[in-house]
């Protein structure tokens, strides 16, 4: 394993280097080997304490972070909006400072407010890991997506990756755009114009409004969830219209090369951006993405808080 990551927090992929992404992915592949052993637990984070603060719902991110922490032998606690003094009017900052006073090494935070993890990181010496902040970033999702792509193709550089759907409201899309472009992929975006504004081209991606053109020559198709909870106005006339022009179907994928990967970060709105029959597409890796989420989150926790960043012995 290469030498360690020299940063306190993982707030997003916008401000992280290609070398750091490569390091996190390389360690994630090592962690995946650990997860194949009969005893899937290593002592790397023994004595460390991780606090999960999820103020928005989550299935995949929360459970895989918890599992990652447990596989690394860390102690974990949870603070949620429905069970904490937040209900009595305490602020998120006060909540963090009070829990931090008990001796926390890392906070894993999901919140509807973009930028909250960045704000909180300035008030604690503990590591802050962004598990999704509003419409901003979801760095560990993009890392696990890149791990899945690298696992299948052996590389990321030069691949054509299409991100299709509600890009505007998607923190997954933003983190993937930053990460994939840094890793040398060509990123295309596709969806209805109000959900995929041309402004995204300023980040280095190409925007398409015609599905056939968007799909021509792609290596990876990544569907995105229509984020009903963040749609403050009507961005397309009806679900029927969205399905007709913008949903990804098995026919779309079957017209492409045999090696095209089909991805989705989940949760999927079945019957909107995809129908359930997409699961029979040959290279559908939606659940493999979830599997890789544990390894990626082990890698992130290891690099941020092990305190033995240059020591590879404890994970071999
Ligand atoms: N992909 C993702 O973030 O899923 P959850 O909302 O279930 O964590």
Peptide bond into 255 cis (omega under 30): no
Candidates 141, 144, 264, 290: which one to mutate for ligand 1, based on the most atoms within 8 Å of Cβ?
A: 141
Residues 161 and 254 in one domain: yes
**Assigned domain for 9 exists:** no
Distance 268 CA to ligand 1 centre (A): 10
Residues 211 and 285 in one domain: yes
- Give residue 99's domain range: 18-137+292-310
213-247: pLDDT as tens digits: 999 999 999 999 987 766 666 777 788 888 899 99
Using left for φ > 0, alpha for ψ between -120 and 50, and beta otherwise, residue 189 falls in beta
Residues 107 and 250 in one domain: no
Cβ atoms of 214 and 176 closer than 8 Å: no
- Ligand 1 atom with the smallest distance to the CA of 59 is 7
Residues 182 and 262 in one domain: yes
**Assigned domain for 4 exists:** no
Distance 59 CA to ligand 1 centre (A): 6
Is the pLDDT reported for residue 78 higher than 70? yes
- Ligand 1 atom with the smallest distance to the CA of 56 is 6
Q: How far, in Å, CA of 50 to CA of 194, rounded?
A: 39
Cβ atoms of 59 and 267 closer than 8 Å: yes
**Assigned domain for 10 exists:** no
- Phi first, then psi: what are they for 186, rounded to 5°? -100, 120
Residues 52 and 145 in one domain: no
Is the pLDDT reported for residue 260 higher than 50? yes
- Ligand 1 atom with the smallest distance to the CA of 293 is 1
For the chain, the average pLDDT equals 93
Answer yes or no: is the C-beta of 266 below 6 A from any ligand 1 atom: yes
Of 310, 304, 306, 309, whose CA–CA distance to 129 is shortest?
A: 304
**Assigned domain for 88 exists:** yes
Residues 62 and 198 in one domain: no
**Assigned domain for 8 exists:** no
Answer yes or no: is the C-beta of 56 below 6 A from any ligand 1 atom: no
Q: How far, in Å, CA of 112 to CA of 101, rounded?
A: 25
Distance 141 CA to ligand 1 centre (A): 8
Answer yes or no: is the C-beta of 59 below 6 A from any ligand 1 atom: yes
265-280: pLDDT as tens digits: 999 999 889 999 999 9
Residues 195 and 269 in one domain: yes
Is the pLDDT reported for residue 197 higher than 50? yes
Is the pLDDT reported for residue 68 higher than 80? yes
Is the pLDDT reported for residue 3 higher than 60? no
* Range of lowest pLDDT (71-80, 97-106, 199-208, 301-310): 301-310
Higher pLDDT, 88 or 159: 159
CA distances from 268 to 114, 211, 228, 279 (A): 22, 19, 12, 11
Find the helix or strand (DSSP H, E) in which 54 lies. strand 49-54
Answer yes or no: is the C-beta of 227 below 6 A from any ligand 1 atom: no
Is the pLDDT reported for residue 2 higher than 70? no
Q: How far, in Å, CA of 163 to CA of 224, rounded?
A: 7
pLDDT value for 154: 98
* Structural domains in the chain (count): 2
Residues 221 and 270 in one domain: yes
Looking at residue 302, which CATH number applies to its domain? 3.40.50.1370
Answer yes or no: is the C-beta of 293 below 6 A from any ligand 1 atom: no
93-146: pLDDT as tens digits: 999 999 999 999 999 999 999 999 999 999 999 999 999 999 999 999 999 999
Residues 133 and 87 in one domain: yes
Residues 180 and 272 in one domain: yes
Distance 312 CA to ligand 1 centre (A): 30
Distance 218 CA to ligand 1 centre (A): 25
Instruction: Collect all residues with Cβ–Cβ distance below 8 Å to 117 and sequence separation of at least 6.
Output: 9, 11, 109, 111, 128, 129, 130, 133
């Amino acid at each position: 394993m290469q030498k360690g990551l020299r940063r306190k927090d993982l707030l997003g992929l916008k401000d992280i280097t290609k070398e750091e992404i490569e390091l996190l992915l390389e360690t994630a592949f090592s962690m995946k080997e650990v997860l194949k052993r009969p005893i899937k637990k290593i002592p790397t984070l023994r004595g460390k304490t991780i606090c999960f603060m999820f103020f928005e719902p989550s299935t995949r991110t929360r459970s895989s972070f918890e599992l990652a922490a447990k596989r690394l032998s860390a102690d974990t606690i949870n603070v949620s909006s429905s069970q904490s003094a937040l209900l009595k009017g305490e602020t998120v900052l006060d909540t963090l400072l009070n829990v931090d006073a008990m001796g926390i090494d890392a906070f894993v935070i999901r919140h509807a407010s973009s930028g909250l993890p960045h704000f909180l990181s300035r008030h604690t010496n503990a590591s802050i890991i962004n598990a999704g902040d509003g419409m901003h970033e979801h760095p560990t999702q993009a890392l696990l997506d890149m791990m899945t792509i690298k696992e299948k193709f052996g590389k990321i550089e030069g691949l054509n990756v299409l991100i299709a759907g509600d890009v505007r409201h998607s923190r997954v899309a933003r983190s993937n755009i930053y990460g994939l472009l840094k890793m040398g992929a060509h990123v295309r975006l596709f969806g209805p114009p109000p959900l995929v504004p041309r402004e995204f081209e300023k980040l280095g991606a190409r925007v398409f409004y015609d599905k056939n053109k968007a799909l021509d020559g792609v290596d990876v198709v990544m569907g995105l969830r229509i984020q009903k909870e963040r749609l403050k106005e009507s961005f397309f006339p009806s679900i029927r219209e969205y399905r007709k022009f913008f949903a990804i179907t098995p026919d779309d994928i079957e017209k492409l090369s045999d090696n095209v990967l089909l991805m989705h970060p989940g949760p999927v709105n079945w019957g909107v951006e995809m129908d359930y029959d997409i699961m029979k597409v040959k290279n559908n890796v939606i659940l493999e993405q979830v599997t890789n989420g544990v390894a990626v989150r082990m890698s992130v926790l290891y690099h941020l808080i092990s305190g033995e960043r240059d020591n590879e012995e404890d994970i071999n």
